[in-house]
Structure formats: C-alpha cells, structure tokens
Amino acid sequence: MSSERTFERIFLVVLDGCGAGELPDAAAFGDAGANTLGNLSRMHPLSLPNLQALGLGNVTEIVGVPPTDAPGAFFGRMAEKSAGKDTTSGHWEMMGVVRTVASKTFPHGFPPGLIEPFCERIGRGILGNKTASGTEIIKELGAEHVATRKPIVYTSADSVFQVASHVDVIPLAGLYRICEIAREMTVGEYLVDRVIARPFTGEAPNFWRTDDRRDYSIEPPRNYLDDLVAAGVSVKGIGKIEDIFAKRGLTASVHTHKNPEGMDELIRAAKSAEFTRGLAFANLVDFDMLFGHRNDIAGYVRALEEFDAFLPGFFASLTASDLVIITSDHGNDPTTPSTDHSREHVPLLVYSPVFGSYFGDAAHRNLGVRQTFADVGATVAADFGIKPNLAGASFLSELAD
C-alpha cells in the first residue's frame, strides 16, 4: 500500500451506546466505573469471533474476547471532546462539530413558561412532565392517557422533549403534529436537541411502543456531511441518521427501525451497482434503545452476537476499494443502576478487504486513543479529497504498511 491509500466507498457503522471504558471526566457525569463492553462481559462472557479477529479485544478488556497478535483491522478508542454523552453530540462530533457547551436538560420537568402555552397550542392538557424511562411511564400513565386523551410528556438525562400517545387515542399524524408544535416552541431558554414522538399500543397494563418513533432534531452547524455533499459525494443515511442531522448533508436516506433492518441496508448498499462512490452512514440503535436503556444484559449480548454473525456476509459484499469504520456515539452500560447514557470512550475498528493482503502485528495496527470522535469525519473528508477544516485529525495515512 502507498503511504496514504484512498477508498471509493466508506461504510461508517455506529453501534449506538456501545462504550469501551470510562472517560477521565466520567465521575462528573455520574458515570465513574462505566464500561459498557467490559462490564457487560464480566456479567455475561461474550463470544464474538469475528469482532475478536478484527481486534475488538485489543480495544479494551472484554471477557471472552481476548486480544489478538494479528488483528484483521486497525483498532483504537476515541474520547469524546464535546460536553455531553448524548446521541446528538456524539454523531455531530464524528462529523467535525465539537459542542463546548452542554445541551440544556430539564431534570425536574419542563417549566410552566413552556408547558402552559404548549397545552394551549395543542388544545389539551398533558400528563407526566418529568424525567422517566419511556417504557415505565407508559405503564404508569398509559391507562390515564387512554381515559383522558392527554398526551404523556417526559424527558430524560438527555436534551429531549418526548411525547407518548396511544395510536388509537391520538393517531400518528396527530402525534407528529403535536411534536412539530413542540419543536417550534423548544427554542431559546427552552432549547432541546430533540423532540421525539413515542407512539405506543396495547391495552392496560400491557402497553408497548411501536416502531413509528420520529425525531425532530435541531439543525446542526456546518459539518463534514455538508462538505461531502457540496463536493458531489454521495452520502446515504441509514437508521436515524437523517433525524440526528435534521435531514442535512444526505443525498439519500433509509429510515430503518431495528438492527436487522439496518444491517440488511448495509449489505444492500455494499451490493448496489448505483452506489459506487461515497459514504454510507448507519446507526444501529437496538444496543442503546432496547437494551442499554432497559438494563437488559441478555438482550445486549444477543444484539452483539447478531452483529458479529452479520460481519462475514457484509465483508463478502465489499471490494478492495471499500473501507469500514465501526464505532459508537457514547456508552450505555446496562450493568449499572442508571438507565441513561454513560460518558465513555468508544471503540474504533477500521477494516478493508485490502488489509487481508497482509496482517500487521497489533502494535502496527494500533490507532491509539483518538482525542476526538471528529477524527472519523476528518478521515472520511480526506479520503474524498476534502481538506479537513473542522475538528479532528485524519488517520487515513496511518492505514498503511
């Protein structure tokens, strides 16, 4: 390989909520000792042969996934530089935007100055207005919601305004309109990163959320996705990428709901005769949404095993001019009492079929601890001939003999 090889297609795969060990400032976020992969494996030893072969065990200590002397990928960890541990900050930072001021949160619920005019705008009162688990609050207030037709409003440790309603009480179009109103109103002193529609169904006491979630994000600043599109590079969003970036910086988007759908779309993109040059940016949400936030250790393990089993078929669909970057946006340690995100390093695995022509030793393949997630975006930009002029340092030249 030359000193800096370039690739025609890059597949950026975000395992949402898959942290790799606490950051130095984790205690300030209430996350001392958090280590999603490490702690999870100590509770339930993992068997991830394909990720192990890539070098996942070289990233952090994982029971059942030992380090290898000849990793099939370049590996490392990344530290979040932004003042947060949320989805928006993590993804934006990957694309060159470091947020120096923490997003506004409302740990005691939203103030009357927002809620009262919001109720006037939507023509009805609300239930909840507190910090809560999304699955627990529909158990608590679902029956009252059905009886009163009042939507359930809640938040979390993230900068979010969430609205839950039963699909037979407030049809999806009505819930989405309520959330659009909330998005219009959550500005200035009430600014939140995302308004989230959380539809559910079922009968008391057995309610469950549907797959029709919809996110309404604030607009991101200029980022590497914008630069790629401006340069004529195809950018395909898979999963909730279009929500996180408010549909900016994308030339195509597929809104998948679960990990298997996202993985199918990755293979579809890899096999596509039309997708010959560009970035496919995928978020696999189940690790975080279904298992991290619910402290479901067994479910999290199954999701990791499913992703591991997906890799051989995905890699078989690639060409020598393809690059795969596997990482995460924050932690969500299911072994801790908290059900919130955790302030952690994230894993970094960088693979191409061309790397199969040689196996460097672990020292050669070690990308170290990157000081910002933005190194990913800088690398993608550099690969497509765009001078990285936002946050981050490209590691493209390090992917060499």
Choosing from 164, 187, 216, the residue where a domain stops is 216
Beta strands in 167-233 (DSSP E): 194-203, 206-209, 214-217
Classify residue 103: in a domain, yes or no: no
Q: Are residues 290 and 348 in the same domain?
A: yes
Check residue 192 and give its pLDDT. Answer: 96
Classify residue 105: in a domain, yes or no: no
CATH number of the domain that 378 lies in?
Answer: 3.40.720.10
Domain count, the chain: 2
Q: Are residues 328 and 386 in the same domain?
A: yes
Classify residue 3: in a domain, yes or no: no
Summarised one tens digit per residue, pLDDT across range 223-251 is 999 999 999 999 999 999 999 999 999 99
**Assigned token pair, 364:** 């050669």
- Cα 48 to Cα 284, 305, 311: the distances in Å are 17, 6, 10
Q: Across the strands, what pairs with 348? A: 76
Q: Are residues 264 and 191 in the same domain?
A: no
Q: Are residues 323 and 351 in the same domain?
A: yes
**Per-residue pLDDT at 359 exceeds 90:** no
Give residues with Cβ within 8 angstroms of 300, minimum separation 6.
Answer: 40, 287, 291, 292, 334
Q: Are residues 241 and 354 in the same domain?
A: yes
Check residue 3 and give its pLDDT. Answer: 53
Integer Cα distance of 181 and 112 in angstroms: 16
Summarised one tens digit per residue, pLDDT across range 284-303 is 999 999 999 999 999 999 99
Summarised one tens digit per residue, pLDDT across range 123-152 is 999 999 999 999 999 999 999 999 999 999
Classify residue 4: in a domain, yes or no: no
Q: Are residues 180 and 90 in the same domain?
A: no
**Per-residue pLDDT at 265 exceeds 70:** yes
Classify residue 177: in a domain, yes or no: yes
- Which of these, 394, 352, 396, lies nearest to 377 by C-alpha position? 394
Check residue 348 and give its pLDDT. Answer: 98
Q: Are residues 312 and 210 in the same domain?
A: no
Q: Are residues 238 and 318 in the same domain?
A: yes
Choosing from 160, 187, 216, the residue where a domain stops is 216
Check residue 2 and give its pLDDT. Answer: 41
> Whole-model pTM?
0.91
Q: Are residues 243 and 277 in the same domain?
A: yes
Summarised one tens digit per residue, pLDDT across range 169-178 is 999 999 999 9
CATH number of the domain that 158 lies in?
Answer: 3.30.70.1250
Q: What is the mean pLDDT of residues 165-194?
A: 97
Residue 373, domain extent: 9-97+220-398
Q: Are residues 195 and 241 in the same domain?
A: no
Mean pLDDT for the chain overall: 95
Summarised one tens digit per residue, pLDDT across range 41-87 is 999 999 999 999 999 999 999 999 999 999 999 999 999 999 999 99
- Which of these, 193, 111, 185, lies nearest to 160 by C-alpha position? 193
Q: Are residues 167 and 87 in the same domain?
A: no
**Per-residue pLDDT at 401 exceeds 70:** no
Q: Model confidence at 344, in pLDDT bands (50, 70, 90)?
A: very high
pLDDT above 70 covers a percentage of the chain that reads 98
Choosing from 216, 235, 262, the residue where a domain stops is 216
Q: Model confidence at 5, in pLDDT bands (50, 70, 90)?
A: confident
Classify residue 188: in a domain, yes or no: yes
Q: Are residues 323 and 236 in the same domain?
A: yes
Q: What is the mean pLDDT of residues 328-341?
A: 95
